[in-house]
Structure 1
């Protein structure tokens, strides 16, 4: 079986494509069930964030195309269009990619810590959906161990610059003094919580957090002296907001062009800075066409993020080295496991032949046949049965000139004699009168 990692990310696909391929939380259980039901797939896990959608599977040789076709069907997308922005990795490369994702080396923000939590969530979701078997279970556990080592032994996580920080940093270029600005944050997840903290530390005048449930919004806003509202109250809050940053898991936009037009009229067309971090997007792209709106998506934060990447490059190089060591260790353990399974299968085969010969010998003894003759026949029969398949394989390899297989035969089937046998005294020669020499 083959380990496969297939997906798209912020480097290979635009936000417009990523939001079409993203899985909402409500879709994940169904997606995992469908994916694991494919005959070629024995294990599967799905990672879906604002910057990437990736499928990790244990599959057969044709699995890549099967998984790509399934992804297209699930999201009602043309497979050819999807293939143009998709990437895939197999076996060691797939393991390496997963480890790079876990430590933030493949993230838009180099070393960002949120991705590890998202990956752990994906692992738990797959586990609950019974999508994990021994192969992916061991890979994820090994990956989490490597991520912990990288965080401990390198500076990749020091002074982290997240997408949340990048969004606030971009806002600071437009608003010189946050103390006169009012912010509306839509969502109540980890990213919005980070945005709220950054804005609070920057001294924003008023902070409002909107969420489907008011209680979750209050968990963020109360500690920072802000206000919590529900999503239905957003139209009124937009009229007061100078800064709007949104990150939810909603499958449909929350802020539309018409809603924003009405808010701008109440604001008397004072400009609004908006950042849509969500994928799928929370704010309709047409909102950016309005004259007094400065709308940015997660892809527009690249400039701020590149500055962070330069500062962390040394730590990133150290992390790459640790990951290579981690991949080598995982590969070594995997080979041992594969060899162990082959050994178990070979022993089961030998034991089955042994049991068959023994039962036949016992039946002959029960019929009263000569024990010496029975033992002689047992030994002859068992030897023939054990050697039949290898002998046939050697003949086939010889006829096909499969030299590598033939060179392995002596090592596999004809091990050197034990040392004690090589030191046994020679049988003494006898004289014609049969007396010892």
Structure 2
């Protein structure tokens, strides 16, 4: 059974960071969860932590095991939600299309889901129903954005942070981290009329091919030395600990705007004590998006039928898959009967040409009725009325030993 454990909407960043899963730990946790579940995909971003799993352990038992393996405080269970089967399928389809993002319709989530799926696939954590679900969801997300033309209203936490910094007059900007979000921030910042961009990374030698003269690539130690000279700082690392603490910030000096896009957070919230500091975390940034939210919501609702189609297609596939053992038995029994009839015919007829013609007729007649029976069974399954149909077809087509 497909199930989902995730963090509830509108849970503050202080709780979310306690339930965050670092990229470094994701593979380790996935492998441990596979000891109890058939399939597992962990989706962990700055705004969400969701664990999709397929297995026989149900709600209470399964959730208890997940909390235990991840080392989460069971008291935080009230901050989480649990869905199964159709609810889990619908949730993933809506998530990949941006309906559950704090910044409605943001486009980063599609790439994040693809990355989570491929990471699970590489270690054999998806191979059946969950594999099909994520493949369908990724295709759904692409089609939704293309047909809905959401690219006409582009938005991400990265673009919002850069836009706010530029609005507030920032000319000298520091970007901390060069992962997926960091690269977006870097790109958006350079598309504006700025004087200087300091890119702070752990390993300077890994950054190659940047020719823009406004850019300086430096390490963390050097970055902390010049942070107080910046107009704006945008931090987006995947570090499990604070990157900038209160001791790194001067109490006196010019105004400094800091955007913390990370979860767990990169920036010590205590620096808010300094009057010259404006500090915004990921929740603050999502609330800056009101201007375009209404337009995007109307556009997204207009194309919700795409999501509904993919949900129906997946559930129909899963429903038909459940009766595949019966279908296989019907086909196998049909083949056995055809072979016996062909053997009988060979024993009674000497003309090879007549035997070939007769064999084709026997096989085509058998296939016709078997395929028709399978079609009826699929129709009844989709109506939820397959039990009586299976009972009758077993009597007709499946030989009892």
Residues 149-158 or 15-24, more deviating: 149-158
Among 58, 62, 73, the alignment partner of 2:54 is: 58
Match of 2:214 among 225, 232, 257: 225
Q: Aligned equivalents of 2:19 and 2:79: distance in 1?
A: 11
Q: 2:82 aligns with which of 71, 74, 88?
A: 88
1:45/1:123 contact within 8 Å kept? yes
Cα distance change, pair 217–291 in 1 and its aligned pair in 2 (3 A): farther
Residues 218 and 410 (structure 1), Cα distance of their counterparts in 2 relative to 1, 3 Å cut: closer
User: 1:35 and 2:30 equivalent?
Assistant: no
Q: Is the 8 A contact 1:197 1:224 kept in 2?
A: no
Task: Check 1:308–1:406 CA distance in 2 against 1; reply closer, same or farther (3 A cut).
Answer: closer
- Report how far residue 141 of structure 1 moved: 1.2
Aligned to 1:8: 7
Is the Cα contact below 8 Å between 2:258 and 2:279 reproduced in 1? yes
> How many angstroms does 1:322 deviate by?
0.6
CA distance in 2, matches of 1:89, 1:406: 26
**Which of 207, 221, 226 is matched with 2:197 structurally?**
207
1:236 paired residue number? 225
Aligned to 1:330: 314
Q: Does 1:137 align with 2:126?
A: no
Q: Counterparts of 1:14 and 1:406 in 2: how far apart (Å)?
A: 47
Could you tell me which residue of structure 2 aligns to residue 161 of structure 1? 155
RMSD over aligned CA atoms reads: 2.6
CA gap of 1:218–1:311, structure 2 versus 1, over 3 A, is farther
Aligned partner of residue 45 in structure 1, secondary structure: strand
Change (3 A) 1:131 1:204: same
Where structure 1 has 5 or more consecutive residues not aligned to the other structure, the ranges are 355-403, 417-437
What is the rounded CA distance, in whole Å, between the counterparts of 1:136 and 1:30 in structure 2?
19
Q: What does residue 304 of structure 1 align with?
A: 288
Q: Is the 8 A contact 2:195 2:214 kept in 1?
A: no
1:406 CA displacement: 9.2
Is the alpha carbon distance of 1:76 and 1:137 closer, same or farther for their aligned partners in structure 2, counting shifts above 3 Å? closer
| Alpha-carbon distance in 2 for matches of 1:207, 1:71 | 42
Is the 8 Å Cα contact of residues 3 and 54 (structure 2) preserved in structure 1? yes
TM-score under structure 1 length normalisation? 0.73
User: 2 CA distance for matches of 1:56 and 1:345?
Assistant: 32
Q: Do the aligned partners of 2:107 and 2:155 also contact (CA within 8 Å) in 1?
A: no
Report the Cα distance in structure 1 between the residues aligned to 2:155 and 2:254, rounded to whole angstroms.
30
Change (3 A) 1:231 1:85: same
1:254 deviates by 0.6
1:287 match: 271
Matches within 5 A, 1:3-402: 3-8=2-7, 11-38=9-36, 41-60=37-56, 62-81=57-76, 83-173=77-167, 175=168, 177-178=169-170, 181-217=171-207, 222-223=211-212, 225-260=214-249, 264=250, 268-344=252-328
* TM-score, normalization by structure 2: 0.80
CA drift at 1:196: 2.3
- Work out the number of aligned pairs and report it: 349
Q: 1:407-422 to 2 correspondence within 5 Å?
A: 411-412=392-393
